[in-house]
Structure 1
Amino acid sequence: MPDFNDATKLGSGKEMVDRLTNLIAIFENPALDFSKNRADGDDILGDAYEYLMRHFATESGKSKGQFYTPAEVSRIMAQIIGIRDASTSNATTVYDPTCGSGSLLLKVGDAASARVTLYGQAALDRLAAELESAAAELAELEEEEGGEEGIFAELEKVNRANVSARLREARAIYNTNDEAGAEADVLDKWLALSNREAELKKQLRDAEAELDAKAYARYPKLTGAEIKTLVVDDKWLAALAAAIHGEMDRISQALTQRVRELAERYETPMPQQVNRVAELEARVNAHLAKMGFAR
């Protein structure tokens, strides 16, 4: 990491402050905005992009494919639905059942000939909310009945097989034991919640798989120019520009903070510091003289 307090490289005092201030001004120069640059298949960009994505994914504990939603996938999906050639108006609605960041909706909006109305993942959000609710209710039920006197206490593990087996035992004595009837109700509720959770998970997987299949079907039909635009312009350069701007912001913040620290440190000129030290020294000597320790 760079040392912004290295006097051998940055000088000292006002020289250091001026040099760091100039560095900040350099990084804030609009001419360093590379977001609009374009490259024609430069392999160096590809290598740099792969390195950055792998690094960022590793740092965030994810795989490269999970780290972000590729822009080219959104563009491909926009082409699949044929929004560019469709007759659209402000009343036309576009819905993405599995969008996360809204990338696909934005690409569709850009490709449409009119300002279409965009709807995100309303249905997916509803399913996700139901799934979260079912999972939370299931966890709450297991916590309530998982104590020493709870219904799940005798189960080695709370799963479908053990709960179903225990439910059969409870139903066998349901007509003669009210406690067994209450236990059967709890076990029935657990199974219902578990089934609902599994069903919702399957619906979400199916929706994602359907979109993936459409995207994969489009890949073989892409032209060379489309591939270059998707991979180089929308993927590599966008990622590199975002990474560069992020690093510039980080360095600018570090430099700004360092300049503030240096400004506070050197706020008082050296002559004033010398005078202050002399004044304090005189006061100390006066006290020592009164105490009989005159120098």
Structure 2
Amino acid sequence: MSHWMFLKTKRSYPMQAFPVARFGVLRNMVLGRYATSRLGINDTVYGFRPTLHWYSPYLGYGEQWRCTLLLPTKSFQLAWLADMPFEDWRRRPVSIYFRGNPRQVWGRRGDDLRDKAKPLMSVIPGANILGGGKVPAETYAEELQSSKFCLILQSDDPQISRFYDALAAGCIPVVVNDEFLLNAAPFADRLNYLGFALHIPESQFSDFPALVMHLTYNMQEARLRSMLAALLEARQILLWSHPQSRTAAWALSEASHTCSHD
């Protein structure tokens, strides 16, 4: 799984992202890490099986090959918006946005969170919580770009692409996923995710979804300005397709720091 994920990154960004002279070194020493609920293998360090079932209620890693890094996933290309002033962001008509089928994720935790999100449509002013199947790409992009906050709920994979779609559209992520910072946040030891994304415990959202969202969209303007500025800066680090992307440079730096033992 890790090998496939890194090959996907190589295939999408072979020349544009990585310096050619250094890419061969990176290819031979680093793999992109990928968290999964499928822990159907033995623990190679202590020799026990981490779960009795093929699927685990929480996510983790299988055997790591050589040196592994956690890299950002690819964002939805049409969602991209250039840096915007705070005043333009503040005028977006949708306060909180989420689109997704009510039951299309693995495990009860993800389903329960989606069930809790549905009633927000009738409670939160300007909320746009949508179900149903797939919509045209242009519709999805327009919905993202019209929203101030984007709900990022726990799903099959903690490294969900919705997070990067929200960044591309300038929509502040509201992450309701207890495992995101632990398992799915690239460069987390160097990048302050709390500065540009809200992180809500799953239990708090499940118990008081409307109250949590009320606190979200009623934050003081000074903090909102700070978060948007931090988000626009973080996009250069986390979005491969950003015109001034630093993702590959950060990946190489991370590889040098993490994988070199000289």
Q: Same fold (TM over 0.5)?
A: no
Normalising by structure 2, we get a TM-score of 0.21
Greater Rg over alpha carbons, structure: 1
- Which structure is higher in strand share? 2
- Which structure is higher in helix share? 1
Higher relative contact order (CA closer than 8 Å, sequence separation 6+)? 1
Normalising by structure 1, we get a TM-score of 0.19
